[in-house]
Amino acid sequence: MVDISPFGYANDVEFAHWLAKDIGVAGVPGSVFFHTPEHRYIRLNFAKKDATLHAAGERLLNLKHG
């Protein structure tokens, strides 16, 4: 789970849509894993080919630097 609160999105679903559409990395809204409302996390899946993980890592790294 990744804390997305520094990005300023209203909720995890909105962030996940943006991440997939604009960055090309899919994440699952973390709210689906909680019984009580919690909208500041997304879950990333690492069961992918190495090349896919490296490409996603580069895109995510650009978020930090860009």
Domain map of the chain by residue range?
2-65
Looking at residue 64, its pLDDT comes to 72
Looking at residue 63, its pLDDT comes to 81
Contact residues for 46 (Cβ-Cβ < 8 A; gap 6+): 53
- CA separation for the pair 17, 8 (Å, rounded): 14
pLDDT in tens, the chain (66 residues): 999 999 999 999 999 999 999 999 999 999 999 999 899 999 998 888 999 999 999 999 888 755
Q: Which CATH number fits domain 2-65: 3.90.1150.10, 3.40.220.10, 3.40.50.150, 3.40.630.10?
A: 3.90.1150.10
Please give, one letter per residue, the 3-state secondary structure of the chain: CEECHHHCCCCHHHHHHHHHHHHCCCCEEHHHHCCCCCCCEEECCCCCCHHHHHHHHHHHHHHHHC
